[in-house]
């Protein structure tokens, strides 16, 4: 993967661009692909993308391409990978595409020849991060940040370091990097940073941090007031479930963690044409605008940044070292289990 290409990405602001204005006439190649995909009748994506986004895309896609049913297996990155491994060993892979949060996970799938090389026309609008051989593209950029609830003591939290403050004892939560791919990257950035390292997580342990399964669970705990603050993703404040909650997105003073999130097609997809059609749809302005409206930086340079967040170029970043995270994966997982359990 071009691991550092996302540093060069600038989310260009485009005003007045609604979904209705993003419709494009079908090109001949899309028409032919749709005809073949319609014969297959279905497309299945294995993903860690939140359900509310999947539902929106399903509605839009099926309205544009009637006759093709969209199905998802949605779980944390770890569980999605476990399913892919189990089905691959059994020779019965049921998914057509994979879209996960952790960019290090796709290298293993490439090594196992699980992904299809495919570079559709939509690639020209993406300068973020693309595999040179065409095996995947970063379809979105997640933002690892703090979620706080000022009504239950979260107003003072402005940095990752604030979570270790004794005043926050019993008031913080985090997700497990064994399950959440995005958390694996966020934690990896902190493990590698000399200002934090494992000593920071030992302090969180002493501060009675609540360890939850996945980043949506962190958002629910903060929004409900069960916890005052936690490490999660910016997108959850934009999710309808939390629209009226007091939960706030706080971009940490040390920098938010940008995560280029990979999307690819399985080489042995049971519905290969539908997979290509859905892949192209997910990289289209319509689908990418859904991301922007949900607090996620889109991959396309012609779709605006999310409301309430700075342009990507102006975002203060705590950059993850993906190569280090991948090479230290087993060591970090073992140390996590020793500190927090499985």
Both 136 and 265 in one domain: the answer is yes
Alpha-carbon distance of 325 to 241, in angstroms, equals 32
**Which single residue is written with the structure tokens 């995947």?**
136
3-class secondary structure per residue, the chain: CCCCHHHHCCCCCCCCCCHHHHCCCCCHHHHHHHHHHHHHCEEEEEECCCHHHHHHHHHHHHHHCCCCEEEEEECCHHHHHHHHHHHHHHCCCCCCEEECCCCCHHHHHHHCCCECCCCCHHHHHECCCECCCCCCEEEEEEEEEEEECHHHCCCCCCCCHHHHCHHHCCCEEEECCCCCHHHHHHHHHHHHCCCCHHHHHHHHHHCCCEEECCHHHHHHHHHHCCCCEEEEECHHHHCHHHCCCCCEEECCCCCEEEEEEEEEEECCCCCHHHHHHHHHHHCCHHHHHHHHHCCCEECECCCCCCCCCCCHHHCCECCCCHHHHHHCHHHHHHHHHHHHCC
Q: Which of 102, 122, 98, 148 is nearest to 287 (CA)?
A: 122
CB-CB contact of 57 with 287 (8 Å): yes
**Which single residue is written with the structure tokens 């979620």?**
147
Give the lowest-confidence range in 8-17, 23-32, 37-46, 298-307.
Answer: 8-17
**Which single residue is written with the structure tokens 């940095």?**
159
Q: Which of 237, 255, 259, 235 is nearest to 246 (CA)?
A: 237
pLDDT tens by residue, 231-246: 999 999 998 889 899 9
What pLDDT is stored for residue 36 in this prediction?
97
131 Cβ neighbours under 8 A, 6+ residues apart: 1, 2, 106, 110, 137, 264
Q: Is the pLDDT of residue 94 over 90?
A: yes
Both 166 and 40 in one domain: the answer is no
Q: Is the pLDDT of residue 14 over 90?
A: no
**Which single residue is written with the structure tokens 């497990």?**
176
Both 239 and 274 in one domain: the answer is no
Residue 34 lies in a domain: yes
Q: Indicate which CATH number applies to the domain containing 196.
A: 3.40.190.10
Both 109 and 150 in one domain: the answer is no
Token pair listed for 224: 């409900």
pLDDT tens by residue, 199-233: 999 999 999 999 999 999 999 999 999 999 999 99
What pLDDT is stored for residue 310 in this prediction?
93
Which letter, b or e, does each residue of 101-128 get, where b requires 16 or more Cβ atoms within 10 Å of its Cβ? bbbbbbbebbeeebbbebebebeebbeb
Q: Is the pLDDT of residue 28 over 90?
A: no
- CA–chain centroid gap for 189, Å, is 16
pLDDT tens by residue, 154-189: 999 999 999 999 999 999 999 999 999 899 999 999
Alpha-carbon distance of 301 to 61, in angstroms, equals 22
Residue 333 lies in a domain: no
Both 125 and 161 in one domain: the answer is no
Alpha-carbon distance of 25 to 8, in angstroms, equals 31
Domain that holds residue 305: 5-141+260-313
Both 212 and 233 in one domain: the answer is yes
CB atoms inside a 10 Å sphere around CB 139: 26
Alpha-carbon distance of 21 to 309, in angstroms, equals 23
- Number of domains comprising the chain: 2
92 Cβ neighbours under 8 A, 6+ residues apart: none
Token pair listed for 150: 């000022």
Q: Is the pLDDT of residue 20 over 60?
A: no
27 Cβ neighbours under 8 A, 6+ residues apart: 121
Residue 337 lies in a domain: no
Alpha-carbon distance of 266 to 115, in angstroms, equals 4
What pLDDT is stored for residue 18 in this prediction?
28
Both 136 and 163 in one domain: the answer is no
Residue 332 lies in a domain: no
Both 234 and 152 in one domain: the answer is yes
**Cut 0.75: pTM above it:** yes
pLDDT tens by residue, 322-342: 899 999 999 999 999 999 997
Residue 338 lies in a domain: no
What pLDDT is stored for residue 102 in this prediction?
84
Both 117 and 25 in one domain: the answer is yes
Using CB atoms within 10 Å of the CB of residue 56, give its burial: 0 to 12 exposed, 13 to 18 middle, 19+ buried.
Answer: middle
Q: Is the pLDDT of residue 12 over 50?
A: no
């Amino acid at each position: 993967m071009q691991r550092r290409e996302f540093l060069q990405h600038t989310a260009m602001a485009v005003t007045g661009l609604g979904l209705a204005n993003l419709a494009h006439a079908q090109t001949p190649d899309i028409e032919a692909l749709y005809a073949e995909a319609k014969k297959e009748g279905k497309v299945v994506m294995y993903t860690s993308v939140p359900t509310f986004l999947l539902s929106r895309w399903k509605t839009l896609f099926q309205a544009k391409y009637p006759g093709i049913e969209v199905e998802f297996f949605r779980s944390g990155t770890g569980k999605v990978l476990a399913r892919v491994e189990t089905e691959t060993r059994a020779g019965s892979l049921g998914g057509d595409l994979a879209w996960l949060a952790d960019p290090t996970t796709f290298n293993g799938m490439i090594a196992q020849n699980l992904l299809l090389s495919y570079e559709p026309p939509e690639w020209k609008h993406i300068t973020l991060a693309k595999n040179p051989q065409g095996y995947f593209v970063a379809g979105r950029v997640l933002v690892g940040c703090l979620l706080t609830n000022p009504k239950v003591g979260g107003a003072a939290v402005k940095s990752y370091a604030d979570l270790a403050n004794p005043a926050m004892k019993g008031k913080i939560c985090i997700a497990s990097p064994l399950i959440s791919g995005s958390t694996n990257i966020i934690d990896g950035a902190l493990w590698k940073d000399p200002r934090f390292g494992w000593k920071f997580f030992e302090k969180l342990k002493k501060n009675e941090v609540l360890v939850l399964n996945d980043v949506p669970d962190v958002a629910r705990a903060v929004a409900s007031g069960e916890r005052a603050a936690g490490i999660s993703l910016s997108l959850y404040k934009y999710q309808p479930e939390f629209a009226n909650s007091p939960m706030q997105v706080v971009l940490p003073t040390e920098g938010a963690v940008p995560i280029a999130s990979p999307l690819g097609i399985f080489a042995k997809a049971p519905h290969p044409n539908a997979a290509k059609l859905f892949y192209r749809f997910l990289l289209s302005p319509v689908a990418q605008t859904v991301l922007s409206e949900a607090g996620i930086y889109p991959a396309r340079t012609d779709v605006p940044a999310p409301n309430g967040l700075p342009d990507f170029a102006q975002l203060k970043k705590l950059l993850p070292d993906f190569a280090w995270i991948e090479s230290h994966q087993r060591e970090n997982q073992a140390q996590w289990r020793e500190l927090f359990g499985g």
